[in-house]
Chain A
Amino acid sequence: MATRTSRDLTGPPPVLTARAVRRSFGPAAVLAGVDLDVAPGEVVALLGGSGSGKSTLLRVLAGLDREATGERVVRGTAAVVFQEHRLLPWKRVADNVALGLSGPDVAARVDRALAEVGLADRRRAWPAELSGGQAQRVAVARALVREPDLLLLDEPFGALDALTRLRMQGLLRRLRAEHGFAALLVTHDVEEALLLADRALVLDGGTIAEELPVPLGPTRTPDDPAFGALRRRLLDRLGVPAP
Chain B
Amino acid sequence: MSGTVLAEAPERAAATAPTPPGRRARPARRWRRIVSPVALVAAWEGAARAGLLPAEKLPAPSDVLAAGARLARDGTLTTHLLDSLTRAAVGLLIGGGLALVLGTVAGLLRLGDDLVDPPVQMARMLPHLGLVPLLIIWVGIGESLKVALVALGAFFPLYFNTYAGIRDIDERLVEAARACGLGHLARLRHVVGPGALPSLFLGLRLAIGAAWLSLVVGEQVNAQTGIGFLMMEAREFSQTDVVVLGLVVYALLGLISDLALRLAERRMLTWRRGLRAT
Contact = CB atoms under 8 A, between A and B. Distances in A.
A118 interface: no
Contacts of B277: 128-129
A89 B275 contact: yes
Interface in A39-97: 59, 62, 64, 79-80, 82, 84, 86, 88-92
B182 A100 contact: yes
A99 interface: yes
Given A82-B172, A91-B190, A100-B186, A126 B271 contact: yes
B138 to A, nearest CB: 42
Nearest to B182: A100
Interface residues of B, number: 23
Contacts of B180: 99-100, 142, 146
Interface in A8-53: none
B178 A126 contact: no
Contact of B173 (A59, A62, A86): A86
Contacts of B179: 62, 64, 79-80
Given A126-B271, A128-B278, A88 B178 contact: no
B277 to A, nearest CB: 8
A150 to B, nearest CB: 12
B271 A89 contact: yes
Contacts of A146: 180-181
Contact of A64 (B178, B271, B275, B278): B178
Interface in A109-151: 125-126, 128-129, 142, 146
Contacts of A82: 172, 176
B195 interface: yes
Helix, strand, loop or mixed for chain B's interface? helix
A140 B277 CA distance: 25
Interface in B145-203: 172-173, 175-182, 186, 190-191, 194-195, 197
A64 B277 CA distance: 34
A153 to B, nearest CB: 12
B173, B176, B269 — which one has the most chain A CB atoms within 10 A of its CB? B176
Contact of A128 (B181, B195, B274): B274
Interface residues of A, number: 21
Interface in B193-249: 194-195, 197
Given A128-B271, A129-B274, A90 B181 contact: no
Nearest to B180: A100
Nearest to B186: A100
A166 to B, nearest CB: 25
Contacts of A100: 177, 180-182, 186
Contacts of A84: 172
Contacts of A91: 190, 194, 271
A88 B177 contact: yes
A79 B181 CA distance: 9
A59, A128, A146 — which one has the most chain B CB atoms within 10 A of its CB? A128
Nearest to A65: B175
A89 B191 CA distance: 10
A59, A90, A91, A129 — which one has the most chain B CB atoms within 10 A of its CB? A90
Interface of B: 172-173, 175-182, 186, 190-191, 194-195, 197, 269-271, 274-275, 277-278
Given A100-B182, A128-B271, A128-B278, 5 more contacts: A64-B178, A88-B194, A90-B195, A92-B271, A129-B274
